[in-house]
Amino acid sequence: GAPFFHYDGSQLMAESVSVSELAARYGTPLYVYSRAALKAAWESYAQPLVNRNALVCFGMKANSNLAVLQQFAQWGSGFDIVSGGELARALKAGARPDTIVFSGVGKQDWEIKAALQAGVKCFNVESTDELERISLIASQLECTAPVSLRVNPDVDAKTHPYISTGLKDNKFGIAIEIAAQVYQRAAVLPGIRIVGVDCHIGSQITQIEPYLDALERLLNLLDTLAGLDIRLEHLDIGGGLGIRYQDETPIAPALLLDKVFARLEDRGYGYLQLIMEPGRSLVGNAGILVTRVQYLKHHESKNFAIVDAAMNDLLRPTLYDAWHGVLPVARPSDTSEANDTTQARVYDIVGPICESGDWLARDRQLLLQQNDLLAIESAGAYGFVMSGQYNTRPRCAEVMVDADQSYLIRPRETVEELFASEQMLPD
Ligand code: LLP
């Protein structure tokens, strides 16, 4: 996200605000988002969809802060939710219920009920058991549940190395071979209205082919369904578009969308509404995690920079071995600081948590001193939302920058809050 987080001389800026000023004002560790970066990512989907029958449903699991959701809702986004909690957040942030699709393999009764009462656009159903459950609850409430079946297209991961959720052997979706049967069952169940088909084949995908493979399989299914006199209103190809963390070349949404629309028209399905569920690609490079160096340790074979952020704040390195860029918030000038006492070394950036897996970045060449600020890049997706309170560490504050203004969109938790609701046993 180069233009939104950039250097002005030696200073890292978030739009027109200096990151070191944000750190001074709000403390560290601190999540900082750029509203302009969110808008630019949004436009990369919205532009190619002008005059198209399409809906973008932000995969809000990637970043569910109310201020972030509010922006997307104002720009016309729908939302892909996976829980009753996310439904409540989306509604609170101003989402229109008829733009919400409800995904997830384990929808509970109360969640199905809440979604029916809110009037969501559709349930992305992942099993026959779930279909029967939704039918029952809708009948009890005397309403009709709009459903799409999440089909598992079993796309070939061998030719396309990506984090896959569209393969046979995982818990997601309904196997494509039995999908037509399940649609026939849906057609006769009370309280069910069939409206669509969906799939989601994985995340951080950087090749177009898996999407097109999956699309062909969905279109073949639509042909079968037409033969059974089952007709749909929409086709949802999920999310999953990758972003640049290190040296990846992301797919431009416009490129994918053009190909998808062309195929839909070729196969006679141009009338379907196209839905996408992007998460990471709308928010990932719109956020950084700002952290302060506490201590430096120079061992014989290894240098550690111990910072005030940890795996509880940004879990991706620990959980996925994920690579995030690390930038100095004040870039050292080449000449003046390269002396004997301060020199660039190769550091592991680690947190204070009592686990060897508590690291944020490894083997980074940096010129560091105690109290220096660092920015962990690409932290806008699956960052704060995956954070926790392990070691009784309050979760970070979150700030949104808009041009030369900054807004505190979630205050730092206090230590007292962390156990305020816990109860001790009577003496
Ligand atoms: N739709 C469904 C049904 C999903 O399961 C997901 C993400 C999305 C949409 C959004 O996918 P995206 O566009 O963000 O790739 N925590 C992991 C990523 C998990 C993605 C789970 N599903 C990470 O930090 O890399």
DSSP assignment of 67-102 equals HHHHHHHHHT-EEEE-SHHHHHHHHHTT--GGGEEE
Q: What is d(CA 347, CA 365) in angstroms, rounded to the nearest whole number?
A: 6
Predicted confidence (pLDDT) at residue 263 exceeds the cutoff of 90: yes
For range 333-348, the mean pLDDT = 70
Residue pair 190/135 in contact (Cβ under 8 Å)? The answer is: yes
| Edge-to-edge strands, sheet with 11-14 | 5-8, 11-14, 17-18
Encoding tokens for residue 142?
Answer: 């005397």
405: DSSP letter:
E
Q: What is the pLDDT of residue 1?
A: 41
Of the candidates 422, 375, 415, 409, the residue with the CA atom closest to the CA atom of residue 395: 415
- Token readout for 414 is 């206090």
* Encoded amino acid at 124, one letter: N
This model's pTM is above 0.90 = yes
pLDDT at 158: 44
Rounded to the nearest angstrom, the distance between the alpha carbon of 10 and the centre of ligand 1 is: 35
Neighbouring-strand partners of residue 57? 78
Residue whose CA is at the smallest distance from ligand 1 atom 18: 203
What is the C-alpha to C-alpha distance for residues 280 and 238, in angstroms, rounded to an integer? 12
Angle between helix axes 84-92 and 109-118 (nearest 10 degrees) is: 30
278 is in an annotated binding site: yes
Query: What does the alpha-carbon distance between residue 33 and residue 15 come to, in Å, rounded to a whole number?
Result: 10
Q: What is the mean pLDDT of residues 144-155?
A: 96
Instruction: Compute, in angstroms, the gap from residue 326 CA to the centroid of ligand 1.
Output: 23
Q: Is 354 one of the annotated active-site residues of the chain? A: yes
CA of 18 to the centre of ligand 1 (A): 31
CA dist 347 → 109, 198, 335, 385, 421 (Å): 49, 44, 21, 27, 40
Nearest CA to ligand 1 atom 17: 382
Burial of 66 (0-12, 13-18, 19+ CB in 10 A): middle
Residue pLDDT, tens place only, 74-128: 999 999 999 999 999 999 999 999 999 999 999 999 999 999 999 999 999 999 9
* 320 CA → ligand 1 middle, Å: 13
For residue 336, the model assigns a pLDDT of 54
The residue whose C-alpha atom lies closest to atom 23 belonging to ligand 1 is: 382
Least confident of 131-135, 170-174, 217-221: 170-174
Instruction: From 119, 94, 100, 104, select the one nearest 56 (Cα to Cα).
Output: 100
Please indicate whether residue 250, judged by its CB atom, sits closer than 6 Å to ligand 1: no
Residue nearest atom 20 in ligand 1 by C-alpha distance = 203
**Average pLDDT of every residue of the chain:** 95
CA of 152 to the centre of ligand 1 (A): 15
Pocket test for ligand 1, best of 203, 211, 244, 256 (most atoms within 8 A of CB): 203
User: CB of 387 closer than 6 A to ligand 1?
Assistant: no
Q: Report the alpha-carbon distance of residue 151 to residue 167 in Å, rounded.
A: 10
User: Buried (b) or exposed (e) across 84-104, using 16+ Cβ within 10 A?
Assistant: bebbebbbebebbbebbbbbb
**Is the minimum distance from the CB of 238 to ligand 1 under 6 angstroms?**
yes
- Binding site membership of 200 for ligand 1 (Cβ less than 6 Å): yes
pLDDT of residue 159: 46
For residues 277 and 197, what is the distance between their CA atoms, to the nearest angstrom? 13
